[in-house]
Amino acid sequence: MAEITVPMTVRDLTREDLPSCDWSGSAAHLESMARALDRVGLGEVDYLALCPPSGLPVGVGGVDYAKVPGAGTLWQLAVHPALQSCGIGTVLIQAAEQRIQARGLDRAELGVEDDNPRARALYERLGYTAYDSAPESWEAEAPDGTITLHETMCTLMHKQLP
Ligand SMILES: CC(C)(COP(=O)(O)OP(=O)(O)OC[C@H]1O[C@@H](n2cnc3c(N)ncnc32)[C@H](O)[C@@H]1OP(=O)(O)O)[C@@H](O)C(=O)NCCC(=O)NCCS
Region 43-52: mean pLDDT is 98
Q: Is the CB of 89 under 6 A from ligand 1?
A: yes
Reported as a pLDDT band with limits 50, 70 and 90, residue 142 is confident
65 DSSP assignment: S
Longest dimension (CA), the chain: 48
Question: Which ranges of the chain does DSSP label H, i.e. alpha helix?
Answer: 27-40, 88-102, 117-125
Q: Order of strands across the sheet with 147-160?
A: 9-12, 45-51, 59-64, 72-79, 107-113, 147-160, 129-141
User: What is the architecture, at CATH level 2, of domain 9-160?
Assistant: 3-Layer(aba) Sandwich (3.40)
Q: What percentage of residues in the chain have a pLDDT greater than 90? A: 89
Domain boundaries, the chain: 9-160
Would you state the pLDDT for residue 122?
A: 98
Q: What is the pLDDT of residues 91-134, one digit of tens each?
A: 999 999 999 999 999 999 999 999 999 999 999 999 999 999 99
Q: What is the pLDDT of residues 48-83, one digit of tens each?
A: 999 999 999 999 999 999 999 999 999 999 999 999
pLDDT at 138 over 90: no
Query: What is the 42 CA–ligand 1 centroid distance (Å)?
Result: 31
Q: Is the CB of 152 under 6 A from ligand 1?
A: no
Would you state the pLDDT for residue 18?
A: 98
Query: What is the 85 CA–ligand 1 centroid distance (Å)?
Result: 4
84 DSSP assignment: T
pLDDT at 143 over 90: no
Q: Is the CB of 33 under 6 A from ligand 1?
A: no
